[in-house]
Amino acid sequence: MGRDFAYVILGGGVAAGYAALEFAKKGVSHGQLCIISDEPVAPYERPALSKGFLLPEAPARLPGFHTCVGANEERLTPNWYTEHGIELILGTRVISANTKLKTLLTATGETITYKFLIIATGARAVKLEEIGINGSNAENVCYLRDLADATKLVNMMRMCTGGNAIVIGGGYIGMECAASLVMNKINVSMVFPGSYCMGRLFTPKIASYYEEFYKSKGVSFIKGTSLSSFVFNSEGKVMGANLKDGRYLHADMVVVGIGARPNTNLFEGQLAFENGGIKVNNRFQSSNTSVYAVGDIASFPIKLFNDTRRVEHVDAARKTAKHAVHAIMEPKTISDFDYLPFFYSRAFSLSWQFYGDNVGEVVHFGDFSGTKFGAYWVNNGRLVGCFLEGGGNEDYVAIAKVVRLKPVVLDLGELERKGVDFVVAM
Ligand code: FDA
């Protein structure tokens, strides 16, 4: 049993959706392209799962957030794929790949052959068992990576109104979920080992603002410790958690956000790897010229910082996918990918964006007791990164433009005094 396609996208997430749109724009013929995904639905905007999807009132639901609405492009419903002759092979896991023979084997026993393969398998949530703790399968322990996880989380929140949740992890999944739990009238304790939240991006001063804001909404922060074990009832539900510092927390539900790992195992030993991802050139071509890799799993050159990185953010998934399709379909007109790292988050009434790199000296600016503030990062005398909470569209456009230029900064005090006006005026 088998099928043959000119182009196969493996994975049906954000990058797959944006790649499909680009293929359609470039005029792919009916029957030439398929998307294979183990999810049962057409590609959707994954960030919606920790935001609109969890709202207690008028929550976002499919088909409302299929790609590519997140970038103000067309919304690709299942019908769109049919109309464009793009085959969606859903609910189907690929269990092995052979890049020499150009074949993929699915869990249903089908062999799919390609001329060009785009790997877009994204990442998976790290499980508690991977850090030596049992309990992931308990009915009131939730993760958040895909629609099934988000649906379980919503059902659990409905059952736990007025109860207590423990959020394990202080990254963006933990922060966004904590906000949603509060909005769903659940008491939240956040537990994480660091001394402040969002430690990979925030400075202690920025983190302190968000922690105070969250505390004002009733969230408790238990920092500098981590989960030691769960206590289960006779039905296997988690009733509470023992922490490494000896504390015990009662829980009606638990949300775990302890990181993600790229889904690259199918290609280990077949393609070159770097930074834990599939190494690609500035056209997203891997060490095998018929195989491209995009989104969370791609380790690609970042011209601006003269290095190679894996970027687990939605903007990178969208843009890398588009670029790879352009490189495959119109190789003569493609220019080198020139990416400015960009990441955002929204929770409660808060909303921030970050552009560039958070290395070097930090200069905070703005009103940390108000609603608009941020930080610049200056490395080797050049402005390389900027974080802004509460900005307007004009501010963010200016930040993106200026950070890309990496201007020389002679006076750090000027950055502090002028704040976001420093970039708006440039
Ligand atoms: P993505 O994970 O979207 O898709 C991978 C697909 O491949 C999935 O459909 C998966 O099931 C499938 N797959 C994997 N292995 C397979 C196999 N063997 N066979 C078949 N199918 C397989 N970013 C940001 O910048 N701002 C934000 O606010 C957020 N918010 C956010 C919230 C939540 C809940 C998550 C989980 C993630 C975010 N992100 C984010 C990150 C962002 O969503 C992420 O970077 C992109 O989804 C990456 O897109 P990809 O297409 O690479 O992977």
On average, the pLDDT of the chain sits at 97
Q: Residue with structure tokens 């007791």?
A: 369
Mean pLDDT of 292-309: 97
Does an H or E element contain 203, and which?
A: none
- Ligand 1 centre distance from Cα of residue 369 (Å): 35
Mean pLDDT of 195-223: 97
Residue bearing the CA closest to ligand 1, atom 42? 314
Amino acid 370: pLDDT: 87
Q: Is the per-residue pLDDT at 221 higher than 90? A: yes
Tokens of 10: 């493996």
| Contact in structure between 126 and 73 (CB atoms under 8 Å) | no
Q: What is the pLDDT of residues 113-140, one digit of tens each?
A: 999 999 999 999 999 999 999 999 999 9
Q: Is the per-residue pLDDT at 271 higher than 90? A: yes
Mean pLDDT of 40-69: 98
Is the ipTM higher than 0.90? The answer is: yes
100 Cβ partners below 8 Å, 6+ apart? 270
Residues 127 and 133: their CA atoms lie apart, in Å, by: 9
Is any ligand 1 atom within 6 A of the Cβ of residue 50? yes
Tokens of 368: 């940390």
Amino acid 269: pLDDT: 97
How, if at all, do strands 103-106 and 94-98 pair?
antiparallel
Q: What is the pLDDT of residues 282-295, one digit of tens each?
A: 999 999 999 999 99
Q: Is the per-residue pLDDT at 406 higher than 90? A: yes
Does an H or E element contain 120, and which?
A: none
Amino acid 50: pLDDT: 97
Amino acid 426: pLDDT: 84
Q: Show the 3-state SS of 120-169.
A: CCCEEECCHHHHCCCCCCCCCEECCCCHHHHHHHHHHHHHCCCCEEEEEC
Amino acid 111: pLDDT: 98
- Ligand 1 centre distance from Cα of residue 46 (Å): 6
Residues of the chain with pLDDT > 70: what percent?
100
**What is the number of other CB atoms lying within 10 angstroms of the CB of residue 107?**
12
Ligand 1, from 10, 18, 44, 46: best to mutate by most atoms within 8 Å of Cβ?
46
Ligand 1, from 121, 343, 353: best to mutate by most atoms within 8 Å of Cβ?
121
Mean pLDDT of 177-200: 98
Mark out the alpha helices in 4-105 (DSSP H runs). 14-25, 78-83
Residues 356 and 391: their CA atoms lie apart, in Å, by: 16
Q: Residue with structure tokens 């052959």?
A: 113
Nearest to 253, CA basis, from 375, 146, 161: 161
Residues 63 and 45: their CA atoms lie apart, in Å, by: 10
Counting from 1 in the atom list of ligand 1, the atom nearest the Cα of 321 is: 51
Residue bearing the CA closest to ligand 1, atom 33? 47
| Contact in structure between 89 and 42 (CB atoms under 8 Å) | no
Residues in the chain: 426
Q: What is the pLDDT of residues 369-391, one digit of tens each?
A: 988 999 999 999 999 999 999 99
Residue bearing the CA closest to ligand 1, atom 12? 11
Tokens of 423: 């970039």
Q: Is the per-residue pLDDT at 1 higher than 80? A: no
How many Cα atoms occupy the beta-carbon half-sphere of 368 within 13 Å? 17
Residues 102 and 317: their CA atoms lie apart, in Å, by: 24
Counting from 1 in the atom list of ligand 1, the atom nearest the Cα of 295 is: 52
pLDDT band at 425 (very low <50, low <70, confident <90, very high): confident
Residue bearing the CA closest to ligand 1, atom 4? 13
pLDDT band at 180 (very low <50, low <70, confident <90, very high): very high
| Contact in structure between 309 and 297 (CB atoms under 8 Å) | no
Is any ligand 1 atom within 6 A of the Cβ of residue 49? yes
Amino acid identity of 278?
I
Tokens of 308: 């190679």
pLDDT band at 42 (very low <50, low <70, confident <90, very high): very high
Residues of the chain with pLDDT > 90: what percent?
98
Residues 285 and 301: their CA atoms lie apart, in Å, by: 11
* Residue 232 main-chain phi, psi, to 5 deg: -105, 150
- Ligand 1 centre distance from Cα of residue 260 (Å): 10
Is any ligand 1 atom within 6 A of the Cβ of residue 14? yes
Residues 231 and 249: their CA atoms lie apart, in Å, by: 10
